[in-house]
């Protein structure tokens, strides 16, 4: 008898009462025995979650020393007292810093030069006192640098309360605004602000105007978006000329603009929404620039006069291209930075707007990530960007757009003697079931042999067009240094290979995401990188759906699975329009009120397809206050798996009772959560 079997015989796994609930649509009856778990007021719900937590704690008790060791390893690589690279806005240099023993950053600035005295704007550690969770949403200084707007979430539910601070007196304004979301902007008068409010499903759906020092009851409702598929955002162009109100669903956009010097004016509609047409808008001089997919699946760039912005006056700046996706642009006084994706990798090009000359920013590694950093100044020749790879720690560069020269401002220091020459990354290609070539990025410590005996940690996401980043993680060294190979499957449904890559992994082609992932796993096994009894897989949120789907399809292929806040009860969730993952998701998965989509989604929904068969060792993670994937999805899935599975492998559910979708908020508690996950992986692989 193995240690695990002995433990499971000693410890009794939690049970939950069956209370059949009939769900019927399109003549199809589904019986959900655990639908009752949605009721948080039912004492049985909390009792079940606490029982699962206690069981998980007991089953992982033998890994306590390993968890501590992993935590100490990861913490020892972090420079606890550290400083971000200051960025300049007008006469001020803004930055954040961390101090040893403190879980959260301290936000600061200096006036005139970096040698000037430090002014602390906001110490998040003070906000977090006596709070189990503390997350900042908005952190925005007024145009005259005299006021600070910030918002705080203390539950993990992504519901923020907005505050205003006088930076001269360090006194808060009397008004606070609850139930706001992430987006916010100042008008140029330094007293008018625009913010978004959320509806009961946590969707930002209203734009309000507030004047500092007045009652919130006097705030003016600027816009109400009634369509549940659309999210509302507000922001300001880098030119500081316009405030933009953006409305967007998964497939459709609509933008309004307002003179930032006239906050009491009327927002002007730029282009009415048209189903399936996405566009983004930016401003430069007397022109608006438009990135759109209108008759251009990989997007194109258009330009139109501000005075005559109607579509008949649009001119093509960058035409549509089949092999390159235009991901976005960034405008400066004399330069435009063009962000694209080609061959699975992000690329950047810089155009001089006076001469029209274009050059590309080059990167040397086979797989990497590159994205824009803080660039608040419009009149500058310097582009600040971030660069990282599997072997290069996160680095901040200042790039001179005139000379094409780059300066490394900071590379995140990895303490303990990290030597990047000891690690190797590669870009591999698997072939999916339909012949599609699927990229895999992989990293390992040099010296491993491709003999099928390596432990391998494979992750993926594959939804919403989001590309998975091949970035550095000092924490990951705790796996690599123990001989574990790490890989990312860049599967369809993500955005790595362009918009078609995304669209070929959604709606009625969603199963391509799952078969791509399985093909990547099979390729890594066939090429002797690993074997099925040495292969651990992991994914979160929609990546948790991926985990549930491939577990149902090919449970024999994997040794162990980590599903983090997994979206697994797909049909039931997106039929419930009171939940965040409902109407807004119909443009990703399909509307199950249509029988064609209902049948297709039901055919892969992990919760609906649990069967009496052997499943891998499984760790499921949840957050009680999660507003995106409600706690009951992983809870119901766990108990149904436990009821039906025919193996003796371990099945654990761990719910963070004081956090939401992203887990713990403080850096130390986050590391402890990761140490727990890594301990599970190493224990399952026999590497503890």
Of 314, 353, 350, 343, which Cα lies nearest the Cα of 329? 350
Chain centre to alpha carbon of residue 39: 28
Residue 110 pairs with which residues in a beta bridge?
93
Count of residues in the chain: 688
Q: How far apart are CA 170 and CA 147, in angstroms?
A: 9
| Token pair for 366 | 């086979």
Q: Yes or no: say if 247 and 253 are a contact pair by the CB < 8 Å rule.
A: yes
- Concatenate the DSSP letters of all residues of 592-625 into one string: TTSHHHHHHHHHH-TGGG--SS---EEEEEEETT
Instruction: Write the DSSP symbol of residue 314.
Output: -
Chain centre to alpha carbon of residue 469: 10
Q: Is 665 a catalytic residue?
A: no
Angle formed by the axes of helices 3-10 and 43-59, nearest 10°: 140
Residue 526 three-state SS: helix
Q: How far apart are CA 29 and CA 35, in angstroms?
A: 14
Residue 208 pairs with which residues in a beta bridge?
195, 221
Q: Is 189 a catalytic residue?
A: no
| Token pair for 522 | 């099979």
Selecting among 155, 432, 541, 665, the annotated active-site residue is 541
Selecting among 107, 210, 490, 661, the annotated active-site residue is 661
| Token pair for 168 | 């001269």
Q: Which DSSP helix (H) or strand (E) runs through 681?
A: helix 667-684
- DSSP3 helix / strand / coil % (the chain, rounded to 5): 25, 35, 40
Selecting among 398, 569, 617, 626, the annotated active-site residue is 626
Of 254, 340, 333, 247, which Cα lies nearest the Cα of 290? 254
Q: Yes or no: say if 443 and 475 are a contact pair by the CB < 8 Å rule.
A: no
Using CA of residue 444, residue 448, residue 451, residue 454, what is the dihedral sign? negative
Instruction: Write the DSSP symbol of residue 666.
Output: S
Residue 290 three-state SS: strand
Spatial neighbors of 605 by CB under 8 A, at least 6 apart, are 568, 569, 570, 571
Kindly report the CA angle at 201 between 137 and 268, in degrees rounded to 5? 70
Q: Is 661 a catalytic residue?
A: yes
Instruction: Give the sheet arrangement for strand 456-460, strand by strand.
Output: 423-431, 437-445, 485-489, 456-460, 535-540, 560-564, 617-623, 651-656
- Concatenate the DSSP letters of all residues of 44-103 into one string: HHHHHHHHHHHHHHHHTGGGHHHHHHHHHHHHHTB-SSEEPPPEEETTEEEEEEE-TT-S
Instruction: Write the DSSP symbol of residue 322.
Output: S
Active-site positions? 541, 626, 661
């Amino acid at each position: 008898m193995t240690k695990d079997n002995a433990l499971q015989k000693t410890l009794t796994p939690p049970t939950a009462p069956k209370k059949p609930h009939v769900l019927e649509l399109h003549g199809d009856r589904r019986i959900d025995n655990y639908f009752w778990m949605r009721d948080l007021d039912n004492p049985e719900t909390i009792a079940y979650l606490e029982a699962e937590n206690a069981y998980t704690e007991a089953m992982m008790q033998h890994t306590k020393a390993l968890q501590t060791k992993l935590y100490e390893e990861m913490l020892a690589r972090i420079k606890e007292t550290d400083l971000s690279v200051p960025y300049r806005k007008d006469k001020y240099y803004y930055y954040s810093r961390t101090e040893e023993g403190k879980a959260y950053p301290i936000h600061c600035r200096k006036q005139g030069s970096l040698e000037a005295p430090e002014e602390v704007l906001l110490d998040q550690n003070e906000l977090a006192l006596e709070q189990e969770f503390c997350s900042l949403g908005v952190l925005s200084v007024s145009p005259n640098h005299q006021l600070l707007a910030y918002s705080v979430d203390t539950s993990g539910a992504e519901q923020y309360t907005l505050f205003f601070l006088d930076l001269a007196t360090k006194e808060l304004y009397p008004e606070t605004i609850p139930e706001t979301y992430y987006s916010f902007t100042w008008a140029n008068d330094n007293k008018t602000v625009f913010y978004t409010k959320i509806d009961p499903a946590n969707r930002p759906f209203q734009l309000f105007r507030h004047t500092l020092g007045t009652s919130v009851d006097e705030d003016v409702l600027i816009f109400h978006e009634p369509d549940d598929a659309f999210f509302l955002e507000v922001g300001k162009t880098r030119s500081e000329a316009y405030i933009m109100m953006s409305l967007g669903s998964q497939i459709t956009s609509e933008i309004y603009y307002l003179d930032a010097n006239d906050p009491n004016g009327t927002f002007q509609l730029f282009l009415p929404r048209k189903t399936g047409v996405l566009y983004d808008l930016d401003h430069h001089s007397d022109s608006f620039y438009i990135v759109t997919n209108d008759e251009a699946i990989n997007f194109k760039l258009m330009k139109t006069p501000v005075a005559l912005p109607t579509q008949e006056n649009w001119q093509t700046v960058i035409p549509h291209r089949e092999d390159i996706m235009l991901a976005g642009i960034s405008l400066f006084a004399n330069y435009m930075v063009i962000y694209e994706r080609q061959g699975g990798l992000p690329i950047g090009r810089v155009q001089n707007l006076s001469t029209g000359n274009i050059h590309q920013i080059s990167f040397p590694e086979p797989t990497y990530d590159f994205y824009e950093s803080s660039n608040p100044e419009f009149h500058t020749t310097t582009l600040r960007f971030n660069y990282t790879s599997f072997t290069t720690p996160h680095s901040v560069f200042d790039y001179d757009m005139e000379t094409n020269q780059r300066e490394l401002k900071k590379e995140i220091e990895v303490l303990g003697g990290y030597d990047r020459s000891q690690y190797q990354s590669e870009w591999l290609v698997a072939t999916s079931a339909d012949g599609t070539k699927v990229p895999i990025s992989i990293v390992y410590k040099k010296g491993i042999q491709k003999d099928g005996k390596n432990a391998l940690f494979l992750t993926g996401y594959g939804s919403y067009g989001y590309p998975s980043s091949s970035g550095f993680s000092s924490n990951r060294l705790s796996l690599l240094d123990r001989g574990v190979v790490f890989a990312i499957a860049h599967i369809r449904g993500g955005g790595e290979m362009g918009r078609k890559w995304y669209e070929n992994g959604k709606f009625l082609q969603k199963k391509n995401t799952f078969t791509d992932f399985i093909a990547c796993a099979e390729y890594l096994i066939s090429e002797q990188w690993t074997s099925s009894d040495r292969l651990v897989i992991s994914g979160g949120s929609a990546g948790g759906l991926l985990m549930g789907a491939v577990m149902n399809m090919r449970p024999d292929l994997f040794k162990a699975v980590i599903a983090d806040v997994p979206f697994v009860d797909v049909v039931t969730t997106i039929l419930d329009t009171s939940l965040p993952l409902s109407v807004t998701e119909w443009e990703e998965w399909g509307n199950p009120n249509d029988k064609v989509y209902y049948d297709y989604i039901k055919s892969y929904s992990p919760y609906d397809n649990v069967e009496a068969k052997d499943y891998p060792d499984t760790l499921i993670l949840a957050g009680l206050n999660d507003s995106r994937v409600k706690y009951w999805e992983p809870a119901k899935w766990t108990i149904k798996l436990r009821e039906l599975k025919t193996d003796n492998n371990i099945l654990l559910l761990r719910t963070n009772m004081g956090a939401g979708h992203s887990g713990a908020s403080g850096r130390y508690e986050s590391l402890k959560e990761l140490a727990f996950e890594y301990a599970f992986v190493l224990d399952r692989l026999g590497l503890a």
